[in-house]
Chain A
């Protein structure tokens, strides 16, 4: 037979079979498309069910120096695939010891119970049996990984690990309300993970990161989760909060709240030039102790009638309109003035009043009658001019903070239904209007900042893995609130308050403070003012000659007799101002002396056991840390987070400076009249004279640092 013919005819047979196969394929495809429609619809639906969102790690919120204020710490659940081939092979031999290990580890059920449940789940072919009764941390997970059966890993041991992050605030309650929190989700805890309040809510966009996607799929009979798109971790929000200043502010406020038993208090420390909020503390009483429970500094509930601190605004309006000068004289009489049927009292009318005073003196003495007379005499016939100028300052609008829930300022306008005949008078010294402490501070900051009103801000920059993504710039709300002359007069008056007026007690010998006291009666509901309920505040800036920081202290409803702004909020103001001033000196000295130390700087890590610190450091990618020797006392910096004992600054006793930095300590001790001898470096460990012991002025005190 011809070779060619034989070959070709044989190939033709193959070709015939291939054509046949092609027909089978066509038939199959047509049948897939036309028959069993429901099954494919079902599978198409399942596609979505098998798509698993992979959560990215949420970004950190950090203090200005990089210390972590809020971070996500991973927690884990461990499950086991009891129908995996590898598990089937060893289950009979090792289920007993696995139960033993689990019972020993968690100690919540006896071994027999663990074993019973394991066997039951094994019988029913459970492909995701939960082994951990609770969330375990990384260290525990490493131990569990070595348990019988599980030690063979994901494929051999059927181990499935689920990660669920937990948001923690490593520095405790520090500025907690401003940092904010995550909503709790539908199941009361772990499932929400969405920034809700404070900066967590405001910067959700940056913090949350981008979800990844993974698919659960079946390869050769085994379910695996395949990560299709890697999640992108959230960015870090670097706040303007300065840990040291925050600590100073918070402990000073805490001390005063505890001493006065007030309902709540808030203090905000702002950098004059930039509007950066360096410290913000909100403490409210809950079950007798003070916790960060609401953002009084800027929220609705902190929006109160400001009282006397508003007088600055009133007088600046009149000064700017050229209707008065600081030397214009008004008669405050005996401190009681009947105006249109209602009576205005000076706070010290019982002592007979001040008679004739200049505008400056009226301000310094905080005379309600004086201010009311000034404003009514100037604006009785044209109240709109007065209110319009306040509006022009930009005070009637919220600051437009990135943090949600800012309290809206409230100002009446002539012609409004609630604009009564007496409104102008009462408004002039801070009633019938509402502002949040932060809004008041913003205005005072503008005075300190030569008329430029900058928007307070809490965030310095956004970083993605350390790379700068966005730098938040200072935003100017009003470049010049009033003329230079008015500004100069306002500053003089504010300085006068602390020289001759209600703020005299704040004087110190190192620098001058400019500010204003405020003591407002608190209106409760519509019924009017409750007797004995006051909002004591002090707002101002320092040093008066070269303003660096503006500061407001507000204490709501102090008890026990003291309620004046000067005596309740004033001491807090002066303590914060003095210690901030001292630490600033220290900061400047440090920068001058050891510039090269910076390259070794690590974020400050506060208390916690060594293992945890290592872990956090690892999670944050601070690899160096494990190489550094950790001092035994790195465990707790005791005084760091504790309140300074109440007798700290009691006159005639040795102050407690333990836990303070050297320059703060020296400042405190020298202020008390002691001579200081320092030894060592770091923070104060011991002091030679017992805190609280009798103070002998001019005696030496030896302070050991370490």
Chain B
């Protein structure tokens, strides 16, 4: 594929276009779905959230440009080792604070004074970097792959376990991502089957434990309740309307061509219209066709990532791109699945579209990494020279044709 290289927007041009389209949609949809939120939090200033979103999207693009233009992919390999332990530390702190009763809300957010963010967001990216690094370094022999599996699974269990205490779906999403990375990273299927069996046992165990031990952590009850409702149908659906009902109503009312921008009224009735159910509001306002196109934007993104992986010359960038892409696309699919009622209700924002704060910045870091890798590929193709920035010894493997 011959694409002339932009001087600033380096990396895969299709990816940049996908991001631009998503940004545009994000602004439109955030503006129309936050009407109710604006009244709740910004005393009716409907511009407040739009301006906020413009700011964060702008910051995201800035961050990506910096990463693409100035940072070498290899840095992430080095950073991975550091970041993963910082993540574990932060998660531990959050968990302790939560059980000490010092954190308000769901105990997902850590406020450092100057910035507040969810440690799980950092943990997601650092665990993926770490996994990519370990996989990349151990592609040689079966023994190496086994060693890699043990390293990865032990770190994953710790991090996902900590995240699970406050947020089941993020833990599950991250776990699925790492699992996919290991699958792509040629880990023996035997090990992966064992992991699946163990996972199912734990979920089943939690499900049963919820009945036996009413005092167990509240999250377990939430999970059980959601699974029950998804399988048996919501007992409240006879008496009234659930969020999922609103979402389906939004899709129903949207029809094929939608009600038009800003004409959603279902969003006024939903607690998380701008977030967990945003895909349903997209369909309500812009119709089924645009909805399907949005979904395909994420699939195009995935496809471009496959191309980037195929062109990658080394294993670490390939796994890094795989992991980050899988994470974001899975997350998008969860949001879409939940909004349409294919999956049980859970709260995952639609990457790059949902109203975001710090989480949007973490998403842009992920995109920045992917774009950096694709830029690296382009340089390698054009000049066949190593990257200019930092000269570091490679720890991973070259991929042979």
Contact = CB atoms under 8 A, between A and B. Distances in A.
Interface string A475-511: 0000000000000000000000000000000000000
B147 interface: no
A124 interface: no
A47 B245 CA distance: 11
A229 B183 CA distance: 49
B309 A2 contact: no
B400 interface: yes
A11 B322 contact: yes
Interface in A1-53: 2-4, 6-8, 10-12, 14-15, 18-19, 21-22, 24-26, 28-30, 32-33, 37, 40, 43-44, 46-47, 50-51
B212 to A, nearest CB: 15
A221 interface: yes
Nearest to A6: B186
B269 to A, nearest CB: 5
A394 to B, nearest CB: 45
B342 A28 contact: yes
Interface in B270-316: 270-271, 283, 288, 291-292, 295-296, 299, 302-303, 306, 309-310, 312, 315
B241 A50 contact: yes
Interface stretch (A60-68, A196-204, A212-220, A653-661): A212-220
A228 B40 CA distance: 6
Contacts of B186: 3, 6-7, 10
B134 to A, nearest CB: 15
A22 B295 contact: yes
Nearest to A223: B240
A285 to B, nearest CB: 52
Nearest to A24: B342
B184 A33 contact: no
A226 interface: yes
18 contacts: A3-B186, A4-B400, A12-B306, A14-B183, A14-B184, A18-B329, A25-B337, A25-B342, A26-B292, A29-B251, A29-B288, A44-B249, A217-B243, A218-B243, A219-B271, A223-B236, A228-B39, A230-B39
A230 B336 CA distance: 32
Given A7-B186, A28-B341, A29-B340, 17 more contacts: A2-B400, A7-B184, A7-B318, A15-B306, A21-B337, A22-B333, A24-B342, A26-B292, A28-B342, A46-B240, A215-B268, A217-B243, A218-B234, A219-B271, A220-B222, A220-B225, A228-B39
Contact of A43 (B36, B241, B271, B397): B241
A90 B291 CA distance: 47
A67 to B, nearest CB: 32
A14 B269 contact: no
A47 B302 contact: no
Contacts of A51: 269
B272 to A, nearest CB: 10
Nearest to B248: A32
Given A218-B243, A220-B222, A3 B271 contact: no
Nearest to A212: B39
Interface in B36-54: 36, 39-40, 44
Contacts of B40: 227-229
Interface string A217-243: 111110100111110000000000000
B161 interface: no
B96 interface: no
A20 to B, nearest CB: 11
Contacts of A11: 184, 306, 309, 322
Contact of B253 (A3, A30, A40, A217): A40
Contacts, number: 146
Given A14-B326, A43-B245, A217 B340 contact: no
Lowest 6 A-B CB distances belong to which pairs?
Answer: A40-B252, A4-B399, A10-B184, A229-B39, A28-B340, A218-B242
A22 B399 contact: no
A219 B243 contact: yes
A14 B245 CA distance: 30
Contacts of B341: 28, 32
Contacts of A12: 306
Nearest to B306: A11
Quick one: which of A25, A226, A228 has the most chain B CB within 10 A? Answer: A25
B107 interface: no
Contacts of B310: 4, 8
A561 to B, nearest CB: 68
A8 B305 CA distance: 10
Contact of B296 (A22, A217, A220): A22
Contacts of B269: 47, 50-51, 215, 217
A2 B401 CA distance: 7
Contacts of A215: 268-269
Contacts of B318: 4, 7
A606 B78 CA distance: 77
B234 A221 contact: yes
Contacts of A25: 295, 333, 336-337, 340, 342
B302 A221 contact: no
Interface in A284-343: none
Contacts of B266: 47
Nearest to B222: A220
Contacts of A28: 340-342
Contacts of A3: 139, 186, 315, 397, 399-400
A230 to B, nearest CB: 8
A21 B180 contact: no
B185 interface: yes
B253 A7 contact: no
A18 B333 contact: yes
Given A24-B342, A25-B337, A18 B302 contact: yes
Contacts of B302: 15, 18
B36 A228 contact: yes
Contacts of B326: 14
A213 to B, nearest CB: 8
A10 B179 CA distance: 12
A126 to B, nearest CB: 12
Nearest to B252: A40
A8 B400 contact: no
Given A3-B397, A25-B295, A30-B288, A15 B303 contact: yes
B295 A47 contact: no
A33 B243 contact: no
Contacts of A47: 241, 249, 265-266, 269
Contacts of A227: 40
A225 to B, nearest CB: 12
B229 interface: yes
Given A47-B241, A216-B240, A40 B401 contact: no
Contacts of A30: 288
A582 B310 CA distance: 101
Given A7-B185, A47-B269, A32 B309 contact: no
B255 interface: yes
B101 interface: no
Contact of B236 (A44, A46, A221): A221
Interface string B122-146: 0000000000000000010000000
A220 B222 CA distance: 8
A457 B41 CA distance: 41
Contact of A32 (B44, B229, B251, B322): B251
B235 interface: yes
Nearest to B400: A2
A2 B186 CA distance: 11
Interface string B17-37: 000000000000000000010
A33 B291 contact: no
Interface string A511-539: 00000000000000000000000000000
Interface string A682-698: 00000000000000000
Given A50-B241, A218-B242, A221-B236, A43 B249 contact: yes
A7 B309 contact: yes
B306 to A, nearest CB: 6
